[in-house]
Structure 1
Amino acid sequence: MKKDRLITLAIHTYPKALILKGILESQGIAVTIQNVNLLKPVISPGVRVRIHEQDLPHALEILETDPVFGKSDTVSEKPQKNRILIPIDFSDYSLMACRLGFDFAAAHQAEVVLLHTFLSPFTMGSLSLAETISHELKESEEHKLLFAKANREMTSFCEKLHQLMVEGEIPQTPFIYRVCEGVPEDTIILMAKELNPSLIVMGSRGKTQKEIDLIGSVTAEVVDYGNFPVFAIPEGFKYTHVSDIKNVAFFTNFDQQDLISLDTFMRLFHDYSFGIRFFHLTEKSDAWTEIKLAGIRDYCQSHYPGREIDYKIIGEDNFLDNVERLFQEASIDVMVVPNRKRNIFARLFNPSIAHKMLFHTDTPLIAIPS
């Protein structure tokens, strides 16, 4: 396929097509408006909005986030600074998240924001007036102690990071920190809405430990929120530099949103050299599935040249075991999953692939909102 061939992005009335043309051209995308009926050289009720094929992923992302042409509630305001958000709890896997997060931030000239959240154990019950006053005084003192303890731990953690910078273990990257009280997953999501980070980097525990956490995992809650890219790093991850990642698995369902997620991922990690293997989950493989996967491979080879591209079909029977086996065979370092924002019922009764993989594998996961 030629990269410069024109494709039809949408068909609208002429006034609406002009609005869309202005939006796309303001983002550097060349647009051509063409009559639907080429036999009659007049402006017909419906006109084609055509763009170059290579601009399709960017154009689709603009359509998804535009208040007129899309339905996304993703934060649209761009931050003044490029930021990487790293929630921490001072554990070893938080330190691993910082190693990778600081490496990524240095490569993208981004500022790191460390976030620690603590939860006060005090709750108000049915108390008399005298008991209420006593309880409030005790709670106030306890809150001060908890806040002071969290700040001391954060200061100690930051000193450790500065020491690692001096020793050359992590890059000299500017960072700030915040200590907040609240439910961790809710606080992380609120902070992400405020900062609009290009990436959230979080530590997650090993496979055997995660199995007991079920839906209560903080990382799982942030991933399921689905509005920001999340890099979830398990405790045993052996790499400390993103450039060490050589093989990436990308899960696809042949959805238009997958194309947007792929483009978002490639723009985040375009400076790194890695191969991509596409995985598709299906009950029954057929010729059409093979054709679509081959089409994705050809698309990637055309739009992201120089990368090794391959694909694999996975049966739904023993899905998790099959994935783990294929990951070992292909030496997969990181998996990428397009992720949609889901309500609580969907998460309980039909967990996303991202949620399943987060709990049943020790391979790092990058969830890309779609």
Structure 2
Amino acid sequence: MIKILVPVNFSDYSINALSYALTLSEKFQAGITILHCFSDYASRDIDPDNPNTEEPLLPDIERHDRDSQERLKKLTNKVITNMSSLQNKNIHIEYRFEYGYPEEVITQISKAMRSDVIIMGTSSKNDPIKQAMGSVTGDVINRTKALVLAVPANSRVNHLKIGNILFLMEENDRDFITLHRLIRITKPFNTRIYAVYHTTNKEDKRDQRRIDKMRSYCEKNCQHQPIEFSAISGKNFVTTIKTYAENNQIDLITMSSHKRTILKKIFTPSVTKKMLYETDVPLLIFQS
């Protein structure tokens, strides 16, 4: 059984990630763990320099916890009820309620339960407040060893069609392993993979040799998976990838975090917002 961890903080984008996870569970024998982190009281200790600081009362904390737990369960039931495709389906769901900072708790729980994938929401476009909250997703990607699927707030999955997948190649042999994993994961879907190598300058002979090597390997070992290979150039990495994704109607962007070669380009403060918060295409990160 595939183990899916879905952190939910009641934001629109985390609820969308939950819907995404529930929809994907139709295609896999999957168990879903829904996690809510109580960070309200994680750092509310008495300040010795401020005698007026009040420690939250235990009854208030317990009442807040109970309300949040009940709210989350009702929310999950509502999401399932609103998804006609999930009716009469036996979906295995567990709930976890933990104290601490989300980026730390999510990583710890994922490791403890040995989750196969963490599905997290990212914020809406052009919403700086939600972008700040959604930065937890970037922190988790940098901390965890599990697969992370970052789902933008406005993204919707058609479980009958995750058709076009953009696979971003790197300059190392890790691509072969990651591509095999991607093919295995997406096997329940009728997919076409676009294996793309990005360069800031015009494609040269070295780039073409790299692509030819991967193409030759796939022709021998991945005959049943439609794969197209190409190199794209552009000074701005994110803009180039976004344009390619739009022109090819990409449903999922995926990459490997090996040596951080691509992630270095993405998870810098200025570029992270563009990649995670200015596109509606989900991003799947394979950890090395």
Name the TM-score class by shorter chain.
0.7 to 0.9
Report the alpha carbon displacement of residue 355 of structure 1 after superposing the two structures with TM: 7.9
Code of the residue aligned with 2:3 in structure 1: it is: R
* Correspondence for 2:122: 204
Report the alpha carbon displacement of residue 266 of structure 1 after superposing the two structures with TM: 2.1
Report the alpha carbon displacement of residue 90 of structure 1 after superposing the two structures with TM: 2.5
* Correspondence for 1:290: 208
CA contact (8 A) 2:124 2:130 kept: no
CA contact (8 A) 2:146 2:286 kept: yes
CA contact (8 A) 1:226 1:368 kept: no
1:125 aligns with 2:44: no
Distance 1:347 1:337 in 2: 12
* Correspondence for 2:166: 249
* Correspondence for 1:275: 192
Q: Aligned with 1:180: secondary structure?
A: strand
Distance 1:210 1:257 in 2: 35
Report the alpha carbon displacement of residue 108 of structure 1 after superposing the two structures with TM: 2.3
**% identity of equivalent residues:** 25
Distance 1:168 1:332 in 2: 23
Alignment of 1:207-246 (within 5 A): 207-209=125-127, 213=131, 217-241=135-159, 243-246=160-163
Structure 1: tracts of 5 or more residues without a match: 1-80
CA contact (8 A) 1:337 1:353 kept: no
Using the TM superposition, name which of 114-123 and 193-202 deviates more.
Answer: 114-123
Report the alpha carbon displacement of residue 197 of structure 1 after superposing the two structures with TM: 1.2
TM-superposition CA deviations, 1:316-362 (whole Å, max 9, x none): 412222222111111111100111487xxx79995798886224422
CA contact (8 A) 1:99 1:240 kept: no
* Correspondence for 2:230: 312
* Correspondence for 1:262: 179
CA contact (8 A) 2:242 2:279 kept: yes
TM-superposition CA deviations, 1:118-139 (whole Å, max 9, x none): 21252331169xx59x944x34
1:110 aligns with one of 18, 30, 46: 30
Report the alpha carbon displacement of residue 161 of structure 1 after superposing the two structures with TM: 3.7
Distance 2:270 2:70 in 1: 38
Report the alpha carbon displacement of residue 183 of structure 1 after superposing the two structures with TM: 0.7
Report the alpha carbon displacement of residue 140 of structure 1 after superposing the two structures with TM: 2.4
Report the alpha carbon displacement of residue 222 of structure 1 after superposing the two structures with TM: 1.3
Alignment of 1:141-220 (within 5 A): 141-164=59-82, 167-169=84-86, 171-209=89-127, 213=131, 217-220=135-138
Q: Structure 1 residues 347 and 253 mapped into 2: Cα distance closer, same or farther (>3 Å)?
A: closer
Report the alpha carbon displacement of residue 199 of structure 1 after superposing the two structures with TM: 1.4
1:358 aligns with 2:276: yes
Q: Structure 1 residues 315 and 124 mapped into 2: Cα distance closer, same or farther (>3 Å)?
A: farther
Q: Structure 1 residues 236 and 186 mapped into 2: Cα distance closer, same or farther (>3 Å)?
A: same
2:5 aligns with one of 57, 79, 85: 85
Q: Structure 1 residues 300 and 352 mapped into 2: Cα distance closer, same or farther (>3 Å)?
A: farther
CA contact (8 A) 1:199 1:230 kept: yes
Q: Aligned with 1:332: secondary structure?
A: coil
Distance 1:347 1:183 in 2: 26
Code of the residue aligned with 1:102 in structure 2: it is: L
Q: Aligned with 2:127: secondary structure?
A: helix
Report the alpha carbon displacement of residue 307 of structure 1 after superposing the two structures with TM: 2.7
Report the alpha carbon displacement of residue 294 of structure 1 after superposing the two structures with TM: 2.2
Report the structure number with the largest CA radius of gyration.
1
Scaled by the length of structure 2, what TM-score is found?
A: 0.84
Q: Aligned with 2:18: secondary structure?
A: helix
The alignment of Structure 1 onto Structure 2 pairs a total of residues equal to 281
Distance 1:341 1:139 in 2: 47
CA contact (8 A) 1:253 1:280 kept: yes
Q: Structure 1 residues 317 and 280 mapped into 2: Cα distance closer, same or farther (>3 Å)?
A: same
* Correspondence for 1:325: 243
Q: Aligned with 1:310: secondary structure?
A: strand
Q: Structure 1 residues 216 and 86 mapped into 2: Cα distance closer, same or farther (>3 Å)?
A: closer
Code of the residue aligned with 2:7 in structure 1: it is: P
Q: Structure 1 residues 352 and 275 mapped into 2: Cα distance closer, same or farther (>3 Å)?
A: farther
Determine which structure has greater relative contact order: mean sequence separation of CA pairs < 8 Å that are 6+ residues apart, divided by chain length: 2
RMSD: 3.0
Distance 1:105 1:124 in 2: 44
Code of the residue aligned with 2:16 in structure 1: it is: M
Scaled by the length of structure 1, what TM-score is found?
A: 0.67
Structure 2: tracts of 5 or more residues without a match: none
Distance 1:204 1:154 in 2: 19
CA contact (8 A) 1:223 1:354 kept: no
Distance 2:267 2:147 in 1: 24
Q: Structure 1 residues 259 and 244 mapped into 2: Cα distance closer, same or farther (>3 Å)?
A: same
Report the alpha carbon displacement of residue 191 of structure 1 after superposing the two structures with TM: 0.6
